[in-house]
Every structure is written in structure tokens, then in C-alpha cells.
Amino acid sequence: MLIPLLFAAVAEGDGDLIRRLRAREPAAVGELYDRYGRAVYSLVRRIVRDPSAAEDLTQETFLRAWSRSHLLDEARTSLGAWLLTVARNQAVDFLRQRQRRLHDHAAVEELEDNALLDGLERLLLNADRAKRLQRAFARLPERQQQVIELAYYEDLTQTEMAARLQQPLGTVKTWMRSALRTLREELVADPIS
Amino acid sequence: MNCDELEDLYGLYALGLLEAPELAEAREHLGRGCPRCQQSLRQAMEMNVMMLGSLSPIMEPPAALRGRILASVGARPAGRFGMAWLPWAAVAATLVMAAWLGNDRTQLRSAITRLEAQASEERQRLGFLQAMVDLVAAPATRQVQLGPAAPAQGRVYVNAERGVLLMAANLPELQQGRTFEMWLVPRQGAPVPAGLFGRGPGGTGLHLRPGPVEVALVAAIAVSVEPTGGSPAPTTTPFLIAPLGP
């Protein structure tokens, strides 16, 4: 079952929410949760698979929006995109600590606050492109779907995937590259003007 | 590697999963401001966000989670804490009457709206309770007695990650226009405001100051009587103090 794109109708109010978060209005966190809580929880739960941990991590994600609201640009930041990125980072950090694996997470932490996240609101407003992405994913060969899910939901490097799947590293890299190229081409086929 | 070869790899880079030697190559391109690679990274991040938001199966979070989150940012439930009794019977009677009379979309809508508002309040209260239980039950929480202001008595629970919970009994009556204010008293410097609370039934007091606390820097938790709305600094001598020790 695929989650419908939840953000198309609500991204418009993100600027006001950011202002209210910065003004330390607790009710703004409630509205933020009402808009994005289910999507965040669904993503975290998918990654950690532990309901209790998923609750804690979802809470941490929204607390982070509260404590880091000063870093958000009310004119450009997509709260949905920002929350999902934070949620994934929290979830994979949890998995990493539980499994005692170390990754170079510096790139991801940097990107979480990076201005490149700004302006994604336009993208998230385009539900049609999201549906095409979902269909493109569904059309991928099984092995390519598998490596995509291992990357997005289990935070495995290609080396770790090769070990898990008992395949040569070169084979896994080929699958991953092909999958990402297919999905990327689906997105750029109809670029946002 | 050239930009074409890196283009397909920025999705992994954005997830923090790109490994050597491709990671070094990507960083080198981005570090020198390659516009093609900057654009590829942006597209990859866009795709990642859409993937994260589109591929997870829908799962409903627990009903109490919203209240927990609100409690952790200091949102107080409406009304006096102490679990005001929900007039379910009165609202239910309204629903039954409306159905019996057979007319009442308007009354039904009003009743439903009231029920939803009350349910929302209860979720907040539940979340508040959950936050308190979590703090008290956490292994790292310290418990310290409040004193010395008999007959007033109580204790504080201090947790570096979750905050400070105060529970008191036999609190003095408050004059009109006054409230209790909690303070974090540092080892050096002026007391820091830590929230306001009132006097509950029978002289009880319950107050949660959520969020991280630098426990090593706090000498004591204190309570004083202040004007309604609180003060930035104590205007009366704190009458309840819980020293945290060295």
C-alpha cells in the first residue's frame, strides 16, 4: 500500500506555521503534527519497525522543528520535506546505534539544514509527479526495488547490500545506478517551471 | 569521474550512503561549485523527499502521541489539571434528544463539535500525564525532597533529557493576583524562570517544566509566590527549595 501524497493541499500554510513556531506558540506544533504527523510516523515506523521507538522518534522529530525553527526560512522551507528528512535521519541513527554501525553521516546532517531543502514546496505540491514516481518504482525490476528499499529504509551502503544479498558489489552498484537513473528520469521528464 | 557518471549517484550521496571512491569524487565536484553537480544533487534530494513521502505504507500513530508532543513543548491542557469530568452524559442526552425529535442536524453538529473539542482536550491531558509518567519512570531521573516550609511539602523529579516535574501538597492559599513560580537556581548567576502553576484542590501543586536541563549547572529547584503572569526574577523569597547537591 502506498501512502498518498499528503502535502499538496497544506504546504501553502507552512510559512505561517514557521513564524508561529519561532514565536514559541505550542499550538503551532499541534497544527504541524496534524498536517504531517501521520506521514512522519509512517516513515519512521517503516524504518525502525518498532512501534514504541517509532513514537519516540516521531516525538523527537517534531521537537526538533520546535527547537530549530530559527533555522527555517518561512518563505522557502517546505516543512513536509524538512520533517521527513529529519525523521529519516533520526530513524536511521536509531538503527545505527542499535546495530552499532557507523556511517559517514556528516553529509546527511549537513543536508538536513542545507538551503537546498528550501523551495521544495513547489515539488511537493505536484501530486501528479509523485504518482508517476510511485508507478515508476513499481515498474522497476524486483532487484532494483530491493536495493532502493535497502537504501531508503535500512540505510545500507552498497557494500552492506552486497553482503546482505550475497551479490558482487559491482552487481549491486549496477542495480542501484539503474534504479536511481530510472526514477530520476521520471522526475525530470516533466520539470517544474 | 565526470558529471555524467556522478549524476546517478547523488541520490545515494543525499542519503549519506555513498562510499569511497565515489564519495570523494562527489565532494570534489560539489566543493568546487560545479553547477551541473549542484543541480544533480538538488534533483536527487527532491527525489529522495518524494520517495520518503510516497513509498511508506500508511500507519496511524497512537492517539496519545499528539498530546505527548504538545506536552513536551509546554502546551498546557485547557482547564484545571485534575481531569475535569467530561459531561458525556449531557452531550449524549443531547444526541439522543436530537435524534428523537428527528430534526436536528444543527444540534447534532454542535454536539459533535463539542465532543471533538472535549476529546481533543482529553488527548492533551493524556499526553501531559504520559509526559509526567515518562519522566518519573526514566532510569536517569533524580528525586529530591522539597523543603523546608511545613506544612507544605513535596518533591521534584529531575531528568537531564526530559525536564523537571514538581509535585507538592499543603501549599499555602494564594491571594488574588498571585501565582506560584518555579525556578532553576544555577550554581552561579540568577535564578531562571521555569514556569507557573496554581494551587489545586486540597493545596496540591503539579508542574512540569519540559525539555533538557543542564543538571550539572543547577544547584536547586525553588518555588516562590509571584504576580499572576510570573516574574523574570523572584520578587519574594522562595519558600520551597530542593537542593540538587554537588
CA atoms within 13 A on the CB side of A2: 17
Contact B51 A137 (CB under 8 A): yes
CA atoms within 13 A on the CB side of A117: 24
Q: Is A120 on the interface with B (CB under 8 A)?
A: yes
Using alpha carbons, select from B122, B119, B124, B157 the residue that is nearest to residue B244: B157
Contact A134 B55 (CB under 8 A): yes
Contact A180 B56 (CB under 8 A): no
pLDDT band at residue B199 under the 50/70/90 scheme? confident
Q: What pLDDT score was predicted for residue B183?
A: 93
Q: Which residues of A touch B70 (CB under 8 A)?
A: 26, 29-30, 33
Angle at the Cα of A66 from the Cα atoms of A52 and A6, rounded to 5 degrees: 70
Q: Is A142 on the interface with B (CB under 8 A)?
A: no
In the predicted model, is pLDDT for residue A24 greater than 80?
yes
Q: What pLDDT score was predicted for residue A191?
A: 46
In the predicted model, is pLDDT for residue A97 greater than 90?
no
Q: What pLDDT score was predicted for residue B90?
A: 56
Using alpha carbons, select from B51, B55, B43, B56 the residue that is nearest to residue B9: B43
Helix (H, G, I), strand (E, B) or coil at B144: strand
Q: Nearest CB to B65: which of A46, A58, A152?
A: A58
In this complex, how many residue pairs, one in chain A and one in chain B, have their CB atoms less than 8 Å apart?
178
Over range A141-145, report the average pLDDT: 95
Over range B30-38, report the average pLDDT: 87
Contact A59 B58 (CB under 8 A): no
Q: How would you class A118 by CB atoms within 10 Å of its CB: exposed for 0-12, middle for 13-18, buried for 19 or more?
A: middle
Contact B47 A187 (CB under 8 A): yes
Higher-confidence position of B83 and B44: B44
Q: What pLDDT score was predicted for residue B88?
A: 54
Q: Nearest CB to B61: which of A4, A58, A130?
A: A58
Q: What pLDDT score was predicted for residue A41?
A: 93
**How many other C-beta atoms can be found within 10 angstroms of the C-beta atom of residue B66?**
23
pLDDT band at residue B65 under the 50/70/90 scheme? very high
Using alpha carbons, select from A86, A3, A12 the residue that is nearest to residue A42: A3
Q: Which residues of B touch A80 (CB under 8 A)?
A: 49, 53
Distances (CA, A) of A140 to A181, B2, B118: 11, 26, 48
Query: Nearest CA to CA, how far is B59 from chain A (Å)?
Result: 5
Q: Which residues of B touch A81 (CB under 8 A)?
A: 49, 53
Query: Nearest CA to CA, how far is A140 from chain B (Å)?
Result: 14
Distances (CA, A) of B26 to B21, B30, B33: 9, 6, 11
What percent helix, strand, coil does chain A show, rounded to 5? 75, 0, 25
DSSP assignment of A105-130:
-HHHHHHHH-GGGBTTHHHHT-HHHH
**How many other C-beta atoms can be found within 10 angstroms of the C-beta atom of residue A19?**
14
Mutation for testing the A interface, residue in B12, B51, B70, B123 having most A CBs under 10 Å = B51
B235 DSSP assignment:
S
Using alpha carbons, select from A165, A170, A140, A138 the residue that is nearest to residue A150: A165
Q: Is A7 on the interface with B (CB under 8 A)?
A: yes
**Looking at chain B, which residue has its C-alpha nearest residue A83?**
B49
How far is residue A47's CA from residue B227's CA, in Å, rounded to a whole number? 49
Q: How would you class A25 by CB atoms within 10 Å of its CB: exposed for 0-12, middle for 13-18, buried for 19 or more?
A: middle
Q: Which residues of A touch B50 (CB under 8 A)?
A: 5, 123-124, 129-130, 133, 187
Q: Which residues of A touch B52 (CB under 8 A)?
A: 43, 84-85, 87-88, 152
Q: Nearest CB to A29: which of B13, B62, B69?
A: B69
Higher-confidence position of A6 and B172: B172
In the predicted model, is pLDDT for residue A43 greater than 80?
yes
Q: Is A18 on the interface with B (CB under 8 A)?
A: no
Q: Which residues of B touch A43 (CB under 8 A)?
A: 52-53, 56
Q: Nearest CB to B66: which of A37, A111, A120?
A: A37
In the predicted model, is pLDDT for residue B209 greater than 70?
yes
Using alpha carbons, select from B61, B16, B232 the residue that is nearest to residue A45: B61
Query: Which range, of A59-73, A110-124, A137-151, B133-147, averages the lowest pLDDT?
Result: A110-124
Q: What pLDDT score was predicted for residue B124?
A: 66
Residues 27-66 in A contacting B (C-alpha not used; CB under 8 Å)? 27, 29-30, 33-34, 37-39, 41-43, 45-46, 51, 54-55, 58-59, 62-63, 66
Q: Are B37 and B26 in contact (CB under 8 A)?
A: yes
In the predicted model, is pLDDT for residue A108 greater than 50?
no
